[in-house]
Every structure is written in structure tokens, then in C-alpha cells.
């Protein structure tokens, strides 16, 4: 019954995603601006407010989401299709809500804010939010809550909301269910004190991860909904008027934009928190059909802060331009994640580790970095870890080095020749058992210009050694559904980019832990290609149970060797955690390496401690 329910949920998601895809298709023919295209007029909506029974007119007097420019912060690169819901447990929630990372705090806030800019790391990286302080006493983590915190409907935020939110992860299979791999129990001691009891041997950094990434939900709203809905219905619930503790509410949405309006009763203006309201009264995200359209709008001062990939960004700030990145020189952005190719190892041909190794050698990584990434990446060193993490956590020995690869077309051909994979009349290789190496789809969202360029280079690289692969570029929502259901050949994803104290463990778990991954066709929030190795899962469990750095170094090294042996994924580049690029024509005071006395992280989506930017910036008009 449980398996059938999961299949039903996937079907529900597929239908919702198809609706999203169809809703975003209008007006995109040649010569006609797509909704939100750069050729649309400034500050105007492309469609009338729909009479769909939803309360979109949260701010009377404003039509079609149009707001005063001097009061509106425009963001870009965080939304590429019309929203189908604002439900944080749906798995398809979009801006301004939290996704599966659980860190965007416009509407739903977390107990603590993770600040990756804190050089001390660990517990010192967590700053107060809904929680004011935490401490460990043995295996019990005690959290004190801010007694001034309230939801946007005026109801107080209490420990009952904390317990209920985490208990949802036990009741339902949602992205924070893994909290119960760390906690044995979560108890309200009083209205403003919560105790988290760790399982025996539970790792404290893993516990800190949970209290800084799980978005707090109002029990008085969700408990009532859960009582009247089955799990599938609760996941499908649109939640178009979300109630949270955050500084903004949903004001308007259609297939061209999402507009948030500041909650002027926001509890965070209390002196115990920010002591003020956010500077922008409105935060708006207009939908553009691709990076090029969004980048044109950015250059035209129609977007203030963007996550979009901008090729050769330095060309934009010549002649006193108001455009800035966080860093003044290459790589211009702070590295933080590793976009990778997840390989479906159940596909004939791709289920052969030597074929996967040949693919790894065949890819022209320098070309990906130079052309697709505009040089915003260091050279790739095959590993589960970022370069700075490799220095800390790996014992680099001869065995590990021998398993690594680099771009070497001759080596790729040598491996394939050794397998007896001969080229047919079309130039594509066929294994001795008759398995043709392709055609395989290389998949990423069509709106991600740097990723699509990367996949074109990958396809060219593979064709050069006799492997048939071509780019498949669906809408973002469809790509996400394919990722989570495991229904792909090779898909480009950004694994484990969680911003919390548990890295690089979280990334390793995302890629290598198959201990509880559902079958293909059911929804997974990590391990998209359903990789499974018993020892790898054991290592990840052992990592979560130790804080001994020498032991952790041994475990990370062993895990990296298993990864390099099996090659379930192939890293393509080191990507910034966020392509944080700002235009100071309308709003100024953004954090940069020259202007950041409080070490506010440059987070385009205002995740984690990046939300403090909203209280730093000022309108120049």
C-alpha cells in the first residue's frame, strides 16, 4: 500500500508539472514576446489578473502585480516557470518558498541562520533567528525560542510549532524526514523551549544542520489541513496564501511574475531580532524565458540582483557601470557546489563501469570551464569534495590518484577498444553483446544557459569517441521531476548544495547513500540515479556518528575511492553556490568583498544569513 501511495504521489506531481509546463507555453512563438521576455514593457504585467478563485489582490490599488519601482526589489534567476503551488512539502515548491534545501526565508523561517562566511565554522556559523540560543548537554540539544516571534496571521510562534513541523517529517516522506536519522525524540519543555534528543552516537553537526535548514510551519494551519487530507492531497495542496513567520507575504502571482509584499507587522522588527523592517516593500520575480532575456533586463536596470549565469560578466562593468559581483577578480563568485552528470546505471551500456570511465575521460573539461563557464571555475579534480575540502579530508595516496581521470580522448578510446566496442557505419560503438552506446539523452533545464552549453560540449566530446548522446532541454519543473523520479539517461544536477555545518557530509550522502532510496518512478530528494553500495552507506552512517577528524579523514578517503571506482556521477565544474550579481542603479549597500563589515553571505535568494541583506540595502531614489 505504501509503495502504491508513493506511485500515486509521483503521478500527482507529474500532472501538476504538466499543467505548469502548458501554462508557460503561451506567447513564445517567433516574433512574439514570451511572458516576461526582455522585450516586454518595464514594470508591466503581460496578463490580466485571473479570476481563478485565488486571492491574488493582497494589496488593493495595485493592478496585475505592478508596484512602484522605488519600493520594489526585482530579483532574477530563481524562477523559470509559473508557480503551481507555494507548498513547502510538495517537492515542487518555487520562489519565494524554500525548496528541498529548506533555506529561503521570505515566508517560512528557520530556527537559526547558517552563515558560511563565519571562518570558525561549525556551531559558530549558526546565528539566532526564531531560536535565540542552543546548547548541548550530552546527547540532548536544547533550543530556546524568541518569544516575540509571530506568524503573519498574528498567532504566536511556540515550541508546539517546532515539534509539529519536525513530526511531519516522521509522518510523511518529505525532504526533512532525514532529521529522524539523527533525533530520537523532539519535545516541547515549555512554550519557548524545545529539547532534541539525539540517537545514540548521533553527530552534533548533523543536528545543527537540521535546526538551520527546516522551515517552521504553523501547527494551527497544517494540523487542520492534515486532518482533512490524505498525504497525496496534502502534498497537492496549493497553499496559495501561505502563513509563515517571515517578513513577506504573497501579494500576486500569474504566469509572468510572483510579487511579495512586506508584512509591516513582521515580528523581526523587534529589537531582539533585526530591529527594523526590510528596506524593499515589494520583492518581485518576473519570469523570463531564458538567461539571455533575464540578462538583458538586468543590464537595462529592470533587475536589481540576479542568480543568472552571465558570460564574461566583467564586460558589463566597464565605464562606471553600477553592476558588481561579490569578488573583484576571477572567479568573481564564491565557489560552493559541483554540478555533475548523474548516470542512470540501470541503462544498458551505462551500467558498465568501464563505459562510465571512458565517458569521464572523453569529456573536454577545459572547454566546459572556458566556454560554458566563462572561466568561473578551477580545473576539475575528480572527487566528491570541493578542492578546499580535499585538502582537509583526504589522505591522497597512490591508489586514489590512480583512480582519477582528466580529459584524455586517447585514453577514452583505449578503454572502449579494450571492451571490444567497435564502431558501426554511423560511427557509434557497439559492445560485443550488441549493446549500442546510445542514443542517450543529456538533460538539464533549457533556461540554464551555462548548463546547456556544458551539455553541448559533453555531447561533442562523446561523439568524438563513438558514443551517441544529445542534449535534452525540458522546462525546469519537468527536469526536476525527472531527477526525483530517476527517469533519465544522464541528467545534470547540483548535488547537496545545502548551506549548513554538515558539509561535505551532506553532499556525500546526497550522491552515495542508497540505504533508503526509493525505486525508480518514486520521488527521491537525493541519490537521483539510485546508486547503491552497502559499504558506501555504512561509511556515511559511520561519518554521522563520529567527530574524530582523523577517523573522518580515513572515512572520506575510503568513500572517495569507492566513488572513483564506480563513477555513479561525473563532476563537470566547480560552480559558485550562487551567481550573485547586483545592479546598484536603484538599490545600493549590497555586501561585496570591499563592503561587508558583518560578513553577510552573498546569497541571491536571501537564504540563511543572506536574508540580512534585505535590511542593509537602501533605495537611491
Three-class secondary structure of residue 485 per DSSP: helix
Structural domain ending residue among the three candidates 576, 591, 606: 576
Which residue, among 196, 133, 136, has the nearest Cα to 162 in the 3D structure?
Answer: 196
Whether residues 369 and 299 share a domain: the answer is no
Residues 397 and 489 in one domain: yes
CATH number for the domain spanning 207: value is: 3.90.76.10
State the Cα–Cα distance between residues 173 and 183, nearest whole angstrom: 16
CB 612 within 8 A of CB 602: no
In 3D space, the residue among 525, 479, 598 whose CA is nearest the CA of residue 175 turns out to be: 525
Rg (CA), the chain: 24
Is there a single domain that holds both residue 387 and residue 511? yes
In this structure, the number of other CB atoms found within 10 A of the CB of residue 556 comes to 24
For the packed helices 505-512 and 549-566, what is the interaxial angle rounded to 10 degrees? 30
Q: What angle do CA 340, 518, 178 make, to 5 degrees?
A: 80
Q: Is the backbone peptide bond immediately before 96 cis, with ω within 30 degrees of 0?
A: yes
pLDDT of residue 38: 33
| pLDDT at site 247 | 97
- Domain identity same for 486 and 563: yes
Question: CA 506, CA 409: separation in Å to the nearest integer?
Answer: 33
599 lies in the same domain as 462: no
**Claim to verify: residue 352 and residue 445 sit in the same structural domain:** yes
Dihedrals phi, psi of 134, to nearest 5 degrees: -145, 155
538 and 409 inside one domain:
yes
Answer whether 482's CB lies under 8 Å from 511's CB: no
Distance CA 408, CA 413 (A): 9
Cα dist. 547→121, 134, 211 in Å?
14, 19, 18
Range of the domain at 146: 83-246
CA 250 to chain centre: 21
Site of grid cell 507548498: 87
- Rounded to the nearest 5 percent, the helix, strand and coil shares of the chain are 30, 15, 50
Measured CA to CA, the distance from residue 287 to residue 24 in angstroms comes to 9
Q: Tell me which residue of 178, 176, 182, 185 sits closest to 202, measured CA to CA.
A: 182
Size (the chain), residues: 621
Give the three-state DSSP class for 220.
helix
Residue 522 inside a domain? The answer is: yes
Backbone angles phi, psi at 531, to 5 degrees: -65, 140
Q: Are residues 269 and 342 in the same domain?
A: no
Q: Are residues 195 and 154 in the same domain?
A: yes
SS3 150: strand
Sign of the C-alpha dihedral computed for residues 217, 220, 221 and 226 taken in this order: positive
The DSSP secondary structure of 387-410, one letter per residue, reads HHHHHHH----HHHHHH-----HH
CA atoms within 13 A on the CB side of 198: 22
Closest CA to 212 of 494, 502, 495, 606: 502
CATH number for the domain harbouring residue 283: 3.40.190.10
Is there a domain that residue 453 lies in?
yes
Spatial neighbors of 491 by CB under 8 A, at least 6 apart, are 341, 342, 344, 442, 443, 444, 479, 482, 483, 528, 529
pLDDT of residue 496: 61
Residue 389, Cβ density class (10 Å: 0-12 exposed, 13-18 middle, ≥19 buried): middle
Q: What is the pTM of this model?
A: 0.74
In the chain, the number of structural domains is: 3
Domain match, 127 and 217 both: yes
User: In 3D, which of 322, 278, 317 has the Cα closest to residue 302?
Assistant: 322
**Residues of the chain with confidence (pLDDT) below 50:** 1-61
**Per-residue confidence (pLDDT) for residue 498, from 0 to 100:** 57
Torsion, Cα of 503, 506, 511, 516 (10° steps): 160
The answer to whether the CB of 88 falls within 8 A of the CB of 570 is no
Q: Is residue 401 situated within a structural domain? A: yes
Give the orientation angle of helix 505-512 with respect to helix 204-211, to 10 degrees.
Answer: 90
DSSP 156: B
Amino acid at each position: 500500500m505504501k509503495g502504491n501511495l508513493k506511485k500515486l504521489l509521483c503521478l500527482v506531481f507529474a500532472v501538476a508539472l504538466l499543467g505548469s509546463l502548458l501554462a508557460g507555453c503561451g506567447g513564445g512563438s517567433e516574433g512574439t514576446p514570451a511572458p516576461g521576455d526582455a522585450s516586454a514593457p518595464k514594470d508591466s504585467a503581460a496578463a490580466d489578473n485571473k479570476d481563478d478563485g485565488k486571492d491574488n489582490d493582497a494589496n488593493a490599488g495595485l493592478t496585475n502585480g505592478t508596484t512602484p519601482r522605488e519600493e520594489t526589489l526585482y530579483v532574477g534567476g530563481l524562477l523559470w516557470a509559473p508557480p503551481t503551488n507555494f507548498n513547502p512539502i510538495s517537492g515542487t515548491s518555487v520562489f519565494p518558498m524554500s525548496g528541498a534545501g529548506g533555506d529561503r526565508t521570505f515566508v517560512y523561517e528557520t530556527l537559526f541562520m547558517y552563515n558560511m562566511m563565519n571562518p570558525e565554522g561549525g556551531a559558530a556559523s549558526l546565528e539566532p533567528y526564531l531560536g535565540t540560543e542552543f546548547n548541548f548537554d550530552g546527547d540532548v540539544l536544547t533550543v530556546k525560542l524568541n518569544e516575540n516571534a509571530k506568524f503573519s496571521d498574528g498567532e504566536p510562534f511556540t515550541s508546539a510549532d517546532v515539534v509539529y513541523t519536525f513530526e511531519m517529517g516522521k509522518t510523511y516522506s518529505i525532504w526533512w524526514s532525514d532529521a529522524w536519522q539523527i533525533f530520537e525524540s523532539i519535545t516541547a519543555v515549555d512554550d519557548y523551549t524545545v529539547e532534541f534528543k539525539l540517537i545514540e552516537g548521533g553527530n552534533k553537526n548533523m543536528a545543527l544542520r537540521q535546526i538551520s535548514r527546516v522551515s517552521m510551519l504553523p501547527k494551527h494551519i497544517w494540523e487542520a489541513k492534515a486532518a482533512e487530507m490524505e498525504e497525496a492531497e496534502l502534498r497537492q495542496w496549493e497553499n496559495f496564501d501561505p502563513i509563515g513567520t517571515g517578513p513577506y507575504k504573497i501579494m500576486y502571482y500569474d504566469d509572468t511574475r510572483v510579487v511579495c509584499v512586506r508584512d509591516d507587522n513582521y515580528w523581526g522588527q523587534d529589537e531582539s531580532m533585526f530591529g527594523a523592517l526590510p528596506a524593499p516593500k515589494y520583492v518581485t520575480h518576473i519570469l523570463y524565458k531564458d538567461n539571455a532575456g533575464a540578462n538583458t533586463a538586468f543590464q537595462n536596470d529592470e533587475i536589481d540582483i540576479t542568480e543568472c549565469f552571465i558570460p564574461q560578466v566583467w564586460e558589463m562593468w566597464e565605464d562606471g557601470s553600477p553592476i558588481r559581483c561579490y569578488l573583484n577578480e576571477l572567479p568573481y563568485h564564491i565557489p560552493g557546489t559541483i554540478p555533475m552528470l548523474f548516470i542512470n546505471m540501470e541503462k544498458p551500456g551505462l551500467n558498465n563501469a568501464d563505459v562510465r570511465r571512458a565517458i569521464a575521460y572523453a569529456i573536454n573539461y577545459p572547454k566546459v570551464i572556458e566556454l560554458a563557464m566563462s572561466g568561473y571555475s578551477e580545473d576539475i579534480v575528480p572527487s566528491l569534495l570541493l578542492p578546499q575540502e580535499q585538502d582537509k579530508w583526504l589522505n591522497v595516496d597512490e591508489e586514489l590518484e590512480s583512480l582519477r581521470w582528466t580529459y584524455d580522448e586517447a585514453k577514452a578510446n583505449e578503454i572502449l577498444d579494450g571492451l571490444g566496442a567497435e564502431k558501426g557505419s554511423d560511427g557509434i560503438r557497439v559492445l560485443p553483446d550488441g549493446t549500442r552506446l546510445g542514443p542517450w539523452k543529456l538533460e538539464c533545464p533549457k533556461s540554464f544557459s551555462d548548463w546547456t552549453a556544458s551539455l553541448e560540449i559533453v555531447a561533442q566530446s562523446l561523439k568524438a569517441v563513438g558514443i551517441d548522446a544529445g542534449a535534452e532541454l525540458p522546462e525546469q519543473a519537468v527536469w526536476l521531476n525527472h531527477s526525483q523520479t530517476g527517469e533519465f539517461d544522464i541528467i545534470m544536477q547540483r548535488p547537496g548544495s545545502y548551506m549548513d555545518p554538515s558539509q561535505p557530509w551532506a553532499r556525500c550522502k546526497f550522491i552515495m547513500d542508497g540505504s533508503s532510496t526509493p525505486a525508480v518512478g518514486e520521488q527521491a530528494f537525493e541519490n537521483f540515479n539510485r546508486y547503491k553500495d552497502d559499504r558506501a552507506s555504512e561509511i556515511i552512517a559511520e561519518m554521522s556518528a563520529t567527530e574524530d577528524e582523523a577517523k573522518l579523514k580515513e572515512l572520506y578517503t575510503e568513500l572517495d575511492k569507492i566513488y572513483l571506482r564506480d563513477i555513479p556521477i561525473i563532476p563537470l565544474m566547480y560552480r559558485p553556490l550562487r551567481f550573485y550579481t547586483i545592479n546598484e542603479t536603484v538599490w545600493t549597500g549590497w555586501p561585496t568583498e570591499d563592503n561587508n563589515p558583518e560578513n553577510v553571505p552573498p546569497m541571491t535568494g536571501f537564504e540563511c544569513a543572506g536574508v540580512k541583506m534585505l535590511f542593509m540595502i537602501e533605495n537611491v531614489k
